[in-house]
Amino acid sequence: MATKYYALLTNIGAAKLANATALGEQVEITQMAVGDGNGALPTPNPAQTALVHELRRAPLNTLTIDPVNTNQIITEQVIPEDVGGWWIREIGLFDSAGDLIAIANCAETYKPLLQEGSGRVQVIRVILIVSSTQAITLKIDPSVVLATRQYVDDAIIEVKTYVDEAIKEHAESRNHPNATLKEKGFVQLSNDANSTSETLAATPKAVKAVSDAALKITNNLSDLKNKSDARGALELGTAATKNVGVAGGNVMQVGAFGLGGGSNHKVDAYNNVGEIYRVNNTSANAPTTGVAGVISLPCDGGPSTAYAAVSNAGAAWVGSSNIQANGIKWNRVYTDAYKPTATDVGAITRADAPIGIPQPWPTATAPTGWLKCNGATFDKAKYPLLAVAYPDGKLPDLRGEFIRGWDDGKRVDVGRQLLSWQAGTLVGGKDDNTDGGDISYLANGSSINYGSDAVNAADYPGIVARYASTGVQINPATPTYNFFSVTRPRNIAFNYIVRAA
């Protein structure tokens, strides 16, 4: 009859065992899984990497070598009564890496749940034949598994046998060595409180004698007869009789680095000794009208002193002094919380150069925080203060233009709006060039523009050219053509920029 139920190594398991045997290493089988084969009895296949339908996986309870056949390993897992509600038809063994090492099928058995009205502890055992059990790690963590009754009974018998043999061996042995400082053994008692032996043990009587002669903890050294001699023997100075505190004259009056706990308050911040103290609005030479803590640091053998002071609000100062009559010269320490004003450091404030005011600039590139006055639009969300000056979000175009003061009711330049553009003034003249050609440069000055610009007719709508057909001058007698031009003052070109932030 053909074998129906059997176990075999998977391809992965066989490869791992062969490799472990060749390298002298071991495969650690740690878990067993059971499944129902999806309702049908499966046939173990060495190519499998998982059960057909796994229902439970848990650590092994035991992993041993078969005492009858040393090429067989026995794996065992206990399923408690509160686990189940399914059939068991397939079993798998997994190593510490989670790989399926061996696969087996078994006679169908139902594992009931206690809640179903019937419960039992189920023991699943797989016996696996291997070429060498030396390649299998026989190690089980007893803290995460259940034990069968047989496992417990065997463990009890093993422990009892070991203890019985150890006691019997000790009782029959005549080797009972004495204890030493390095080895355990038997020791003899002694009540000699003055003994210097390293092999005798003190009796309670000897311990009591030593205790009676010693100082009592509860007396707090009050039983010392000559306290002055005791302090001298301990090399304690007069500080041993001083109180420790912050008042002047206490132990900490002169401490490490010359600093100590000085008086709580000084009526004059001036000092020429190392000290920590407090000043307030009533103290002379104080750095502030509020409360501040001060550290004074003598700088030399004379009266020169350096100071550091911090107020209760976090403001800080450093100072220096020589003789008391000259007081203390304080200098403010600026921090993120206490920043200097523009006046303190001689800087220009925002009010000195308000955002939006045009400024001439000698290079083609505007500095950081400034924009060119070139008629471009700007991001009002990015430059909200600039948008106050130019609400339409567009900068004035001052390229090649002069800036003129706004009339503001003076009636010199009537009808002008702020930021409005105005064309140049037309200036009349005559053209002796009767053929109507362009006027040339000044005589002997061909490289110098004489100051008139060509008229752009679009800038002067409604104006038409005119000329006198008969002439207006006696000499020459030929007709003279009148013309208009636009003049400009002497100037230097600057790049107008505007502060944006």
SS (H, E, C) 217-257: HHHCCCCCCCHHHHHHHCCCCHHHHCCCCCCCCCHHHCCHH
In a domain, 234, yes or no: no
C-alpha pair distances (Å), 239 with each of 95, 243, 244, 250, 339: 72, 8, 9, 9, 45
The Cα 40–Cα 323 span in angstroms is 107
Query: Which residue range forms the structural domain that includes residue 427?
Result: 353-501
271 and 393 fall within a common domain: no
Q: Which of the listed residues 108, 123, 144 is the one where a domain comes to its end?
A: 144
464 and 328 fall within a common domain: no
The Cα 378–Cα 230 span in angstroms is 87
353 against 61, higher pLDDT: 61
Whether the predicted pLDDT of 493 surpasses 90: no
The Cα 439–Cα 432 span in angstroms is 9
pLDDT at residue 120 in the model: 84
In a domain, 257, yes or no: yes
The Cα 459–Cα 466 span in angstroms is 17
328 and 357 fall within a common domain: no
Cβ contact 187:201 at 8 Å: yes
Query: For the ranges 258-267, 315-324, 459-468, which has the lowest average pLDDT?
Result: 459-468
Count other C-beta atoms under 10 Å from residue 101's C-beta: 25
In a domain, 95, yes or no: yes
Q: For the segment 183-214, what is each residue's pLDDT rounded down to a tens digit? A: 777 778 887 878 888 778 888 887 877 777 66
Beta-carbon contacts of 107 under 8 Å, excluding residues fewer than 6 positions away, are 5
User: What's the pLDDT band for 256 if we cut at 50, 70, 90?
Assistant: very low
366 and 277 fall within a common domain: no
Q: Which of the listed residues 144, 162, 186 is the one where a domain comes to its end?
A: 144
329 and 358 fall within a common domain: no
User: What's the pLDDT band for 62 if we cut at 50, 70, 90?
Assistant: confident
14 and 111 fall within a common domain: yes
* Rg, Å, the chain Cα set: 54
323 and 383 fall within a common domain: no
In a domain, 17, yes or no: yes
In a domain, 224, yes or no: no
Q: For the segment 382-401, what is each residue's pLDDT rounded down to a tens digit? A: 999 999 989 999 998 988 88
Cβ contact 487:424 at 8 Å: yes
pLDDT at residue 164 in the model: 67
In a domain, 100, yes or no: yes
30 and 106 fall within a common domain: yes
362 and 481 fall within a common domain: yes
Q: Which residue has the tokens 């034990």?
A: 147
371 and 323 fall within a common domain: no
Total domains in the chain come to 3
* DSSP type of residue 456: -
SS3 470: coil
Cβ contact 252:244 at 8 Å: yes
Backbone angles phi, psi at 371, to 5 degrees: -125, 150
User: What's the pLDDT band for 52 if we cut at 50, 70, 90?
Assistant: very high
Q: Which two tokens stand for residue 266?
A: 């000084």
- Residue 407, domain CATH: 3.90.1340.10
| 495-499 and 370-372 beta bridge pairing | antiparallel
SS3 378: coil
497 and 357 fall within a common domain: yes
- pLDDT (average), residues 431-453: 45
pLDDT at residue 31 in the model: 92
Cβ contact 294:320 at 8 Å: no
Among 9, 30, 7, 27, which Cα is nearest to 19's? 27
Q: Which residue has the tokens 């100082």?
A: 215
- pLDDT (average), residues 262-271: 80
- pLDDT (average), residues 112-136: 77
Q: For the segment 321-342, what is each residue's pLDDT rounded down to a tens digit? A: 999 999 999 999 998 888 888 7
In a domain, 101, yes or no: yes
366 and 492 fall within a common domain: yes
Count other C-beta atoms under 10 Å from residue 420's C-beta: 9
In a domain, 227, yes or no: no
User: What's the pLDDT band for 2 if we cut at 50, 70, 90?
Assistant: low
The Cα 386–Cα 501 span in angstroms is 7
The whole-chain average pLDDT of the chain stands at 76
Q: Where are the alpha helices (DSSP H) in 317-427?
A: 342-345, 384-389
User: What's the pLDDT band for 138 if we cut at 50, 70, 90?
Assistant: very low
Query: What percent of the chain shows pLDDT beyond 70?
Result: 66
Q: Which two tokens stand for residue 43?
A: 């046939």
DSSP string computed for 32-78: EEEE-GGGSPPPP-TT-SS-SSEEEEEE-SEEEE-SS-TTEEEEEEE
Q: Which of the listed residues 112, 144, 176 is the one where a domain comes to its end?
A: 144
Beta-carbon contacts of 464 under 8 Å, excluding residues fewer than 6 positions away, are none
